[in-house]
Structures are given as structure tokens and as C-alpha cells.
Structure 1
Amino acid sequence: MKSKRRWQALCFALLATAPSVALADEGEQCFLHRELPVERQLRRLSIDLRGTVPDVAEYDAVAKLSELPDALLDEYLASDAFRVQIRRYHESLLWTNPAPALADVGFSLSTVNLDGSPVYYVPGQGKSALFRGGDGTHTCQNKPQDALGYDPVTGMPIVEPMGNDAAGAWSAEGWVEVHPFWEADPAKKVKVCAFDAQTTATYTLPPGDPDAGTHSCDHLLATNKAKSCGCGPELSYCMPAGVVQPLVHAALREQLLRLVDEHTDGTQPYSGLLTTKRVHYNGPLAFYFKYHAQRQTLSRTQNEHQASDGPLPDLAFTDVDTWVAVEREAPHAGLLTLPAFLLRFQTNRGRANRYRIAFLGQYFQPPSTKDTNCAKESDDLTRRCVCRNCHLTLEPIAAYFGQFTEAGSMSLRDFAREYPTRKACAKGIAPQNAGWCDRHYVAIPDETDPDLRPYTLKALQYADDEHPEIGPHFEAGPADLVKADIESGRFHEVAIEHLFSYLMKREPNLDPTTGDYEGDALAKIAADFRVHDDIRQAVRDLVKLPAYRRMP
């Protein structure tokens, strides 16, 4: 770009020093001011808006024209190919490729080969030991469970002694045939170890147990106490990761891109991309959030479906191509709170930073002077030397995303903001679990005994008098952050700058001291864009600029 500017300056200098020299024709002028032939304009427009070169008939149709007709531009902007191109443009802004691990040994399904026949089972050692005894490394035997029967009191499979290992005696049940949820053909069945194939929905722990009461088998805390819990009806509580995970990953990406489609086809305002509560689910996504998300261990991403996420549509896992719209509630705000965004940028700081880059055009740069008003060591990054220059800006913005768990997409809207003690925090989920507390909460240091310290949501760790913005921003959520930037006009201004760079393959010249300053033209388009809020019209205005028709 700098070399192009130098060449342009040279052109201006030559024209200024030799005003009496007449150029023979337009072709001898500085190339920066020469328009592309109409055929090359057509090629450029087609590649930018459709992602493909024109065919021979399209070239012939414009061969004798002096400029491209508006009807052709309208046709391109209304095409499905333009929809795909605008998807790609947003993918370049948002990096829509989340790939979290969605299964672990607690509910993933593996297969064991029993005399040439694959049999499904859950490989978790703790649960296997509960089922069969021994060291937890054993599976069922190669025998139909019907030949062994079921306990008339508990309803659980009857087992046969198999021997001893280093941990003691172990027994084994047989297998059963089950139609699995991932098979569209209801007649197709697979073999499953009978304990793992149990369809019980709940289990009950007796009085005197710390977790006495009835709990769901379909939850990460269906612990090794729950011998009656298996994979549920049609194995719905478990997953073969190789089958489920690719479809869910693809659906997470498509979910975001469908939102892009809705707000770039001219029927919905473009700014609604960041404000809408609407979201779409297909079969794999709905099934995952209904049965699997809450089963992931606390060391993996936390994506448990919450009330604010809206009702899940009743779709079978195999309904891959069926998409149903759902309305979410606060604190959701457009694509910024879709799993594809939250899982691609897994910290609140990362989410805030990507928002600044993609929608405000702002990047962090190191300070030019040494910061002396800082602490060499501090957990508070707004006070630590080197860090504080950026984090004074970043932390208040990151707080807007605080109602969503980090390393996950789960809404924390309905979670308690604080617990008085660690013990109370551990009881915040049933069955109680200290690991759950540590996953979402942090102790607030004070003078009291460590076991009596209050525990607050991690995003509120620094919500105090020294950081007065954190608490209000946390409660407001991303919607308030977006609202301010849309109302100020900054959102539309930056969108035009990004679109200009995408179409021109260079950044706009926003230096008003130069001869090829483009700021005024972009400001006019951005002002209009703010009114009509139609990205197709914005693209139309940009490709009609003289700069778009000039030699690159």
C-alpha cells in the first residue's frame, strides 16, 4: 500500500511540474486514475459478490456497454452465491470454527469385540467397577442378557461370576439389542452391555446419605453411587463421539451462519445480528443440549442448557436438515452469545477483544511511554505493570460477558451471585459438588478463616469500589454494550471500513492530509447505512465508488 501511495505521489508531482504536456489518451494517465475495462469490471464484481468468474454469455452481454447495468448488480446481490460470500466475509471476522471436546469416559460409548461382534459399553472405570466389581476394566460377556434374566426387585441385570483380578472378584452381565438414537432406521439395532443399556431416568439415595433424595441419571453428577443408571432410552444419555461430535460442531457453525443469513438478506436489520434473541436449532444441536451437555465433566467446556436459552425444539438427533427458530431471553445478544462465538473465544477477555476488533475496529497496542504508576506483582491486571495499559480498557468490557461461563457457553443468569461459605457453595448444585463450586466461583480474600470466606461468581471477583464498572456491566450483559455502539454510529462506520477492505483488497485511506483521502465518501455511506441498516445496500454503494472501478 505504501508503494502505491508513493507512485501516486509521483504521478501528482509529474502533473504539477509539467502542466503543458498533453497526454495522448486516457491510457497514458497514471494507472491509479484509469478505469477498468467493462469486462474486467464484470469479472471483479462477479468474483467479489458471487465467488466465481462470469461465463462467456455474461461477457458477451456487456461487451458493447460503457458501464455495468444496475440490473446486473441487483441480480448478483439477490443471488444465493452472494449469500455464501457474505457468510465467508463474516467467518473471516469471527473465526467460526469452534471444536470443543463434547464427550468423556463418563458417557462416551466405546466398542468391544466379542467373537467378531462389536458391543457398545461406557469405558469409565468407576462405573464399570460399580456394575461388575473388580478393578473397573471389565465389560459384559458374550451372552444375551435374556439368558441371564433380571433381578425381580431392582430390575437390574443378573450377572455371573467371572473370576478375580488385583482388586477382587468381578462378575459380568450379557448384552442386549437396542435401537440407538443416531440411527434413522428404527429397525437397525446394536448390541450394548446390559448395565450400560439401562433406561432408568432417576436414582434415589437413602436418608443419611449426604445427597439423600432423587436425582437425574442424565447428569454429570450421576455418580458411581447410581448403579441403576445406564445410557437411557435409545442410549440417549451417552454418545459415540465419532458420530455425534462432528455433526454438533458443524451445527454450531451453521447456527451462527443462519443468523448471518437472516440479517444480510435485506429482510432484517443488519445491526440485529448483535441484538436479536432469535436462534435456530437442528436435531443434533437440540439433542446435544437436551441430553449430553449436562453430562460433561467439570474439566471440559460447560454448555448446560439454561432457562434463558429458550425452549429446546422436540427434534430427533437424525433431523440434521430440520432447523427450528427459538426465542431466547436476556442476557442473550445476537451472535455474541451463540455457542459458536462463546466456544471459539473461551474467556471473557477474548470475547471482549474479538468484539472490539470485529465490530469497533479497535486493536490493543503497547504504550509508547513507561508506566510507573503500577504494581510489579498483582492478581488484578488493571494494576500490574505492563498489563494495566490494555486491561484498564479490556476488563470493563469483558465484564459485559460475565453472565456466561468461561470455557463454555452456559448462561449464569440464574446462578446465585455469591455463597457465604465453601460448604454452601458446594451445595449450590444437587448432588452437592465442591468441584462445581470451584469451576464457577472464587473465594474473596479477607481476614476470616479460609473455610468461611464468601464465594462469588468469578466474573465478579473484582466488582468493588476500585472497579466500579464491573458490577453494573455484569448485570447489563452484552446487549447494553452493543446498544451503545450501535446508537453512537460506530458499529456501522466500522462495518463500512471492513467491507471496503474486503471488496477493495486494501484498507481505506483515512488520512485527510493526503490527496486520495477516502474518509468523506465512507462517512456518507456509513451515515446512510445507519439509517437503512441493509448490508446489501451498503455493498451496492461501495461497489459504485469510482475507486472500485479503477485499476488495482
Structure 2
Amino acid sequence: MRRCGVADTYANTYNERTDAFNMEPELIADSVVRNDEPYYNILTTRRSFVNGTLSEFYRERQGVGIFNVTAPAPLETVPAIAYNQPGTWQEYTRSAFHSGVLTTPSFLYRFPTQRARVNEFYEAFLCKTFVPSKDPLPPPEDPSHRDNNLARRAGCNYCHATIEPTGAHWGRFDERNSLFLSPERYPRFDPKCQTCALNGDTSCGGECGAYVMQAFDEDAANSLGMLKTYLYRTSSEEPNIEGGPALLVQRMMQTGDMERCTVKRIWNEFLGRAMTVQEQQLYLDSLSKNFASNHHSLKSLIETLVMTDAYRRID
């Protein structure tokens, strides 16, 4: 989370804020592990931390134009720490729309689009990557090649049929910044924006940047004045937007993929290599089930892993 070309007069302040933003998710994860809480609280907890740098940033409303960040909680609940105390961190509780490290400024800026956020979530917590299909494409004249909805476009739909609705879980978090688009300020539909769009005023006084303002296809024509994140979403996918990343974690917890991925990553960390196919057959399911039955305690997983024959054979 660094930015090139920042003027020297702002460099120190910018770097201090960058360092603080990057430290925040580490402290969230550290607190979960040290307290032996369910490991996936790192993805859902509202707990967070501020130091002097972030306290002043939030409480004094500084940094607009360098960092666009919605205050994570009512300002009176953000700990008041002097700016000259960057090493002093205090815990506090963020607003209800937050979800662990997945809504921290560090995560949202490092992965600036909904698609990037989905890709990182799948790779980091599900051990999955998106790989294009090897199936042949339809002929060039097929209209699906020109579909603006990537979940339907030929050559794109194989991955984006999953990426687009999953990315909607970050639909209330703006792209390329860390702003939360609250339902109160940004309703699903804004009649003023629709009126401007129908009259050809796509700027609408600068008030409708988050809304569909141009009819570049039939779906968009039927969605003028609608918040962009709802465009192309089906009725079954729209709850993802309001449920946020916490809903995504809740759903993924039901598949077993998160447990298996965590086991693989801890295995790699402790043995210095990935599981072999044979080791996956011997250990993956049992370690994953043990991890789940012990309330996703990372401490318990590590204790079980280091007792395996595979670990004890390390030279």
C-alpha cells in the first residue's frame, strides 16, 4: 500500500499513515490468534486498533485526497491518541458494516476492485485460483462476445460467473478507495440520478458518480439511476451486496474449503513445503475435521499437526 509521486512535504505523513494502515490487519489477526479465538474471526470481527497516526486521521478528518477512507466508527468511539504516539495502539469496535481484515483500508486499497478482492479471498483463504476454460469459444459473430456482463460474455463467463456475484459482497465498498457507500446516503435507486440520466446530464452536479448514468446496453437502460454495484445482479445475488464480506465468509464456512486451505497453509509454514498428494490423502481431511471440531483454534491445529508422523520425520 504505497503510492508513487507523493510530494516531499507530505511524504512523512503519508508514509506514517501507510505504515499504520498496513499494521492494522496484522494486529487484528494477532489478537485473534493470541486470544485463541476461532481463526476465521480475522475475517469477521469488528475489533480493530488505532495508534496516534490513525486516531488523528479519523478524528480530525485529515487526508482527503490522499486517502479516501470512511471513518470506521462514530468519531466519539475512536480512541483519542496523540499524533506523536505512533507506537501506542488501542483496541476499539468498528461499525457494523466492517468484517475483519476484509474491510480494512489496507486490504481495500491493495486490492482496489471487487474482482481483485474476490481473487485475493479465493487464493488466500480457499487456496483456489481462477483459470480460463479450455473449451472452444463460439464463432466471432456470436452476440455473447459483445455482452457487457462478463458473467455472460463468451470467454469470460467461465470465471466471471463466480467472480461477479462474489464481488458483490464488497458492493457497498467503493473501488480504488476505502469509502463505505452507506444505504442511507447511497440508496439502491436514486430518482434524481435517473432524471439526470434521462435528460442526458451524466454528471448531475457531481452527485451521481456511483450510479448508472449511461444506457450502454439494455440492462443499463433499464437500470438508470441505480447504484452501479446492482447492475447485472440477479435477485438472488443482490443480498450479497447488503450482507457484505461477512456473509461471504459465513457461506464459505459451510463448504469445508476454508478449513482445508488453512491446513495446507499451516502445513507449508511448518514443514517448509506443500503437502504431497499422498499426504493430502493421509492427513488433509482428518486435520481439517479436527480443526473444525476444535472451534477453528489455530493453536489446536498446530498442536495436532506437529504430532503427525510427517512433521516428526523432519531432519
TM-score category of the 2 structures, normalised to the smaller one: 0.7 to 0.9
Q: 1:284 to 1:403 in 2, by over 3 A?
A: same
In the aligned structure 2, how far is the partner of 1:101 from the partner of 1:469?
41
Matched, 1:485 2:247: no
Match of 1:456 among 217, 222, 226: 226
Alignment partner, residue 421 of structure 1 = 192
**Contact preservation (8 Å) 1:308, 1:413:** no
Is the helix fraction higher in 1 or 2?
Answer: 2
Structure-2 separation of matches of 1:540 and 1:243: 43
User: Out of 93, 105, 110, which is 1:327 matched to?
Assistant: 93
Q: TM-score w.r.t. structure 2 length?
A: 0.84
- One of 98, 102, 105 as aligned partner of 1:336: 102
Mapping 1:12-411, distance limit 5 Å: 98-100=1-3, 240-292=9-61, 295-296=64-65, 302-305=68-71, 311-372=77-138, 375-411=144-180
1:543 and 2:306 aligned: yes
> Which of 273, 276, 282 is residue 509 of structure 1 equivalent to?
276
What does residue 193 of structure 1 align with? Answer: none
Output one character per residue of 1:503-525: Cα deviation in whole Å (capped at 9) or x when no partner.
22322134xxxxx3433322212
Query: How far is 1:356 from its partner?
Result: 0.7
| 8 Å contact from structure 1 (residues 269, 534) kept in 2 | yes
2:288 corresponds to 1:526: yes
CA distance change for structure 1 residues 323 and 378 in 2, over 3 Å: closer, same or farther? Answer: same
**CA deviation vs aligned residue, 1:420-447 (integer Å, no higher than 9, x gap):** 2349789xxxxx9834532x22226299
TM-superposed deviation, 1:498? 1.4
Q: Sort the Cα spacing of 1:402 and 1:257 in 2 relative to 1 into closer, same or farther, 3 A.
A: same
Find the aligned partners of 2:101 and 2:309 in 1 and give their Cα distance.
34
CA contact (8 A) 1:302 1:408 kept: yes
- Higher gyration radius (CA): 1
Structure 1 residue identity aligned to 2:102? L
> Partner of 2:92: helix, strand, or coil?
strand
Amino acid at match of 1:406: E
Taking the aligned partners of 2:165 and 2:75, their CA distance within structure 1 comes to: 25
Give the partner amino acid of 1:508: M
Question: 2: distance between equivalents of 1:387 and 1:379?
Answer: 10
Distance 1:333 1:502, change over 3 A: same
Distance apart, 1:293 and its partner CA: 5.0
Where 2:212 maps in the other structure, the secondary structure is strand
Is the 2:169–2:242 Cα contact (8 Å) retained in structure 1?
Answer: yes
Percentage of identical aligned residues: 26
The superposition leaves residues 91-147 of structure 1 with CA deviations (integer Å, 9 ceiling, x where unpaired) of xxxxxxx225797xxxx8x8xxxxxxxxxxxxxxxxxxxxxxxxxxxxxxxxxxxxx
CA drift at 1:284:
0.6
The normalised TM-score by structure 1 is 0.50
Contact 1:301 1:407 survives alignment (8 Å): no
Distance change (3 Å), C-alpha of 1:522 and 1:244: same
- What is the rounded CA distance, in whole Å, between the counterparts of 1:353 and 1:254 in structure 2? 22
What SS class does the counterpart of residue 518 from structure 1 fall into?
Answer: helix
Q: Tell me, what secondary structure is at the counterpart of 2:60?
A: helix
Kindly report the root-mean-square deviation, in angstroms, between the aligned alpha carbons of the 2 structures.
3.2
Cα gap change, 1:324 to 1:306, in 2 (>3 Å): closer
Show structure 1 runs of 5+ residues with no match: 1-97, 111-239, 427-431, 511-515
Counterpart in 2 of 1:234? none
Query: What secondary structure does 2:226 align onto?
Result: strand
Match of 1:442 among 207, 212, 227: 212
Q: How many residues align?
A: 303
Cα deviation 1:142-200 (Å, max 9, x = unaligned): xxxxxxxxxxxxxxxxxxxxxxxxxxxxxxxxxxxxxxxxxxxxxxxxxxxxxxxxxxx
Q: Would you say 1:469 and 2:232 are equivalent positions?
A: no
| Structure 2 residues without counterparts, runs of 5 or longer | 198-202
Instruction: Note closer, same or farther for the CA distance 1:486–1:293 as it changes in structure 2 (3 Å cut).
Output: farther
Following TM superposition, by how much is the alpha carbon of 1:333 offset from its aligned partner in structure 2, in angstroms?
A: 1.1
Q: Residue by residue, what CA displacement relative to the aligned partner does 1:314-349 show, whole Å, maximum 9, x if unpaired?
A: 222112122122212332111111111111100011
1:326 is paired with a residue whose SS is strand
In the other structure, the counterpart of 2:200 is: none
Partner Cα separation in structure 2 for residue 455 and residue 267 of structure 1: 47
Q: Counting strand residues as a fraction of each chain, which structure ranks higher?
A: 1
CA shift at 1:490, angstroms? 2.4
Q: Which amino acid aligns with 1:289?
A: Y
Rounded to whole Å, the distance in 1 between the matches of 2:216 and 2:160 is 24
Q: Kindly provide the CA deviation profile for residues 68-107 of structure 1, in whole angstroms up to 9, marking residues without a partner as x.
A: xxxxxxxxxxxxxxxxxxxxxxxxxxxxxx225797xxxx
Summarize the Cα distance change of 1:472–1:291 in structure 2 as closer, same or farther, 3 Å threshold.
same
